[in-house]
Structure 1
Amino acid sequence: VLYDIDKERQDKVGVIVDYIIKECNVDTKLTLSNEPEEAFKDADFIFAQMRVGKYALREQDEKIPLKHGCVGQETCGAGGLAYGLRTIFPMIEVIDYANKYAKKDHWILNYSNPAAIVSEACRRLRPDARIINICDMPIAILDQIGQCLDINAHEMEYDYFGLNHFGWFTKLEYQGRDILKEAKDYVIENGTLLSKDIIQKIEQAKEAGIRHNDASWLKTWANMKTMVELMPEYFPNSYLQYYLLSDLVVSQSNKDRTRANEVMDGRESNLFKGVEKYLETGEMDKKTFYHGEHGNFIMDLAVALKNDTGKKFLVIVENKGTIPNLPYDAMVEVPAYITKDGPQVISREPIGDFYKGLIEEQLASEKLLVEGAITGSYQKVLEAFIVNKTIGSAHTAKAILDDMIEANKDFWPTLK
């Protein structure tokens, strides 16, 4: 079942899903629904990924902060805070539909961004929800490392800690070999976390034709070198560039054409052009809908839950002492073994003061935002913007927030 409140978009996506079902030659009935009871009734799994306000507001999330000289990114900084305020209550609505209509032992597997803020809101408002919040970016990074070192990423052993889009790999091993240093050395030597064949393709022609090779992603993979050189102990999540290299990121940004424009003109446009071509000719270009690890990761997690496999995944869970020197109620992203009862988290030693300080600052921003959303407090939301590392001053934070309020007036809770 596909459920959406936007029937026009849903019908187009339904064409692709129907095609995939027929390609797989499985006896599966596809239902498209805009009615919650029909969509959620007796569901075992709910895969959630919503973009409230669609790409039009993602564009504002990115361009408003850049206008004020700050990072413009959809899940990090001011843009992420704005996106979070739009997503909190629609996500709670999905949880309530699942509780009302789905099977009692259902699982919601949630990709909806910004995952850290959504996770904190779920913890506060629906603490008993059967929801696992996840992100595939660390898996995509492992895949990139595998390509760079010419090894199978699925056979890597890893350890990781942090918040969503704010974490570090502390261990990388392959067939008993420590490859953490190899990964860092590769990035420093080659100036990017792209494999040598992709580097060669990019040099020969600016279009490599794979996910994450748009202009913004080329800069992202190159910025990994700077982070590894400045902070060499662990291997960073690429999203840390927005917090730790904010001045560099802003200098690399085009305030008139951001990542949202790349997606709207590229992936989004190609997807729906592909649907139109298929409806007209019966020919489907699979490149229009396949974009990497997103589908694989969420499906692997569902299989692990269903079959009680105990396989290890990175998930976002309440800390509860997992990282002993972080707050008990922090929503952290850490490895866990997945059973039919959910994540069984792997505890770790205390983290260093450098990482602890960074995480607690970001955590405060996320918690203040959720508190502001729940209470309708302008002051709490302003404090979330002020404490966020990507924003330089309280005056700038207020200016961005006031512009954001105007742009999001149809989607945000009322702030007083």
Structure 2
Amino acid sequence: MKLTVVGGGSTYTPELVDGIAGRRTSLDVDEIVLVDPDRSRLEVVGAFSQRLLEHAGHPARVTTTTDLQRGVDGASAVLLQLRVGGQAARASDETFPLVCGCVGQETTGAGGLAKALRTVPVVLDIARRVREVAGEDTWIVNFTNPVGIVTRALLAEGHRAVGLCNVAITFQRWTAALLGVEPESVRLEHVGLNHLSWETGVFVDGVDRLPELLARHGDAMAEHLGLPAPLMRRMGMAPSYYLKYFYEHDEVVREQRTEPPRAEVVAAVEKELLDLYGDVAVVTKPAQLSQRGGAYYSEAAVQLVHALTGGSGPEQHVVNVRNGGTLPFLPEDAVIEVPAVVDGDGAKPLPVPPVPPSVAGLIAHVTGYEHLALEAALRGGRDRVADALLAHPLIGQYATAEKLADELVARNAGFLPWARGSV
């Protein structure tokens, strides 16, 4: 099997290769192609990835190319993990909303919208070329943020696509350790949108252990998720750590105004990682890679590709998938993040228990914003940007949305063809 990674020059990539090298599944990969416009990063990451495989005794070969069509030709699956604008654009996303007292984050709020506007057109262009070159049956696994909006764009154009995030698998692994059980024995009752999700149950051998986790490990969960234990106990749920941007918005903004943006931290880690990757004596995954983020990314991605390419019988994974009628209070074409049965025919969401009104309301609110964000990404226009910002629950004020729209367009005009002549 040929597996192609678009954005293969990322320092994330060795995580994926390590998942394959460790034979964590029976995924039969004989070629891994890394595609990236940055030739210098490709050479470093590609050579290190090959050493990882060879050190593990895995026979697959790594090839690199800046030519997308060459890279995807013959691929069984294509993974998307790109960042349009790099860490510089991320730093902008994480800082400009703070001027208006809004959270600065690369996947939600104004920063998340900026990333969506830059990313959606690029991803759709890539997907069209994948379809033309690799064929209709090639699976696209999208790890590119904002995952929900990008995956919705892909599905709307008819691509065979599934969105993937590491939030659920990270929580599964973490809670398994707390409970002293094997991760594979933990089944999550996970519901929401990408980066707006809740665990409503943590099942081991058919028994929901979430009440026990909240009662006995509330303080540890509070530290891990960045949210107060009393809140989680009252809800009877474990929100993802991205919910701190909603439940403790003003406190997060105060902290962000006194700390360097995450982009600066990541850029420093990336530099250190690339230096390590370039050392021919390094043949195993560096410990510093855990500081980069994306924990368990490799396991989630490899398991999902394994299921999609028919390497096993149906498997259950938490993925981003078309709603259909799963959450009846959302449009059918919304993209939700829930457990799904995954096989060679794709991902089919499993039924979920009734969603409490407090959670359903926020999910519906953000889904409305995501619809408007996708409209702005596809059709352009400063007013569409402002409309999406006004609809976001973390913004929601006319004057603030207007100011943020102007700043967002000015900062990102170089990536937005429709905006280049307006600033």
State the TM-score, normalizing by the size of structure 2.
Answer: 0.85
Tell me how far apart the structure 1 counterparts of residues 48 and 223 of structure 2 sit (CA, whole Å). 32
Contact 2:315 2:342 in 1 (8 A): yes
Q: Are residues 1:329 and 2:361 paired?
A: no
Please point out which of 313, 317, 321 is paired with 2:317: 313
The alpha carbon displacement at 1:155 in A equals 1.2
Aligned residue for 1:236? 239
The alpha carbon displacement at 1:349 in A equals 4.4
Aligned residue for 1:391? 395
Give the stretch that moved more between structures: 53-62 or 93-102.
Answer: 93-102
Please point out which of 194, 204, 207 is paired with 1:174: 204
Aligned residue for 2:250? 247
Tell me how far apart the structure 2 counterparts of residues 77 and 63 of structure 1 sit (CA, whole Å). 12
| Structure 2 unaligned residues grouped into runs of 5+ | 1-32
SS at match of 1:248: helix
The alpha carbon displacement at 1:178 in A equals 2.2
| Structure 1 unaligned residues grouped into runs of 5+ | 195-220
Aligned residue for 1:106? 138
Name the aligned partner's letter for residue 73 of structure 1.
Q
Name the aligned partner's letter for residue 145 of structure 1.
T
Q: Are residues 1:367 and 2:371 paired?
A: yes
Give the stretch that moved more between structures: 3-12 or 284-293.
Answer: 284-293
SS at match of 2:159: coil
Aligned residues: 384
Contact 1:10 1:32 in 2 (8 A): yes
Aligned positions of 1:243-392 closer than 5 A: 243-254=246-257, 257-266=260-269, 268-276=270-278, 278-279=279-280, 286-289=286-289, 292-305=295-308, 306-391=310-395
SS at match of 1:30: strand
Name the aligned partner's letter for residue 272 of structure 1.
L
Tell me how far apart the structure 1 counterparts of residues 40 and 402 of structure 2 sit (CA, whole Å). 37
Q: Among the aligned pairs, what percent are the same residue?
A: 28
The alpha carbon displacement at 1:118 in A equals 0.5
Name the aligned partner's letter for residue 275 of structure 2.
K
Aligned residue for 2:6? none
Tell me how far apart the structure 2 counterparts of residues 238 and 246 of structure 1 sit (CA, whole Å). 12
The alpha carbon displacement at 1:39 in A equals 0.5
Name the aligned partner's letter for residue 395 of structure 1.
A
Q: Are residues 1:131 and 2:166 paired?
A: no
Name the aligned partner's letter for residue 215 of structure 2.
D
Contact 2:118 2:377 in 1 (8 A): no
Tell me how far apart the structure 2 counterparts of residues 255 and 386 of structure 1 sit (CA, whole Å). 26
Q: Are residues 1:223 and 2:227 paired?
A: yes
Please point out which of 35, 53, 57 is paired with 1:3: 35
The alpha carbon displacement at 1:224 in A equals 5.1
- Runs of 4+ aligned residues of structure 1 deviating over 6 Å after TM superposition are none
Give the stretch that moved more between structures: 170-179 or 43-52.
Answer: 170-179
Name the aligned partner's letter for residue 270 of structure 1.
E
Q: Are residues 1:154 and 2:184 paired?
A: yes
Aligned positions of 1:56-135 closer than 5 A: 56-124=88-156, 126=157, 128-135=158-165
SS at match of 1:26: coil
Tell me how far apart the structure 2 counterparts of residues 107 and 285 of structure 1 sit (CA, whole Å). 27
Tell me how far apart the structure 2 counterparts of residues 145 and 162 of structure 1 sit (CA, whole Å). 19
Contact 1:75 1:81 in 2 (8 A): yes
Distance 1:154 1:93, change over 3 A: same
Contact 2:82 2:144 in 1 (8 A): yes
What is the alpha-carbon root mean square deviation over aligned residues? 2.1
Contact 1:148 1:186 in 2 (8 A): no
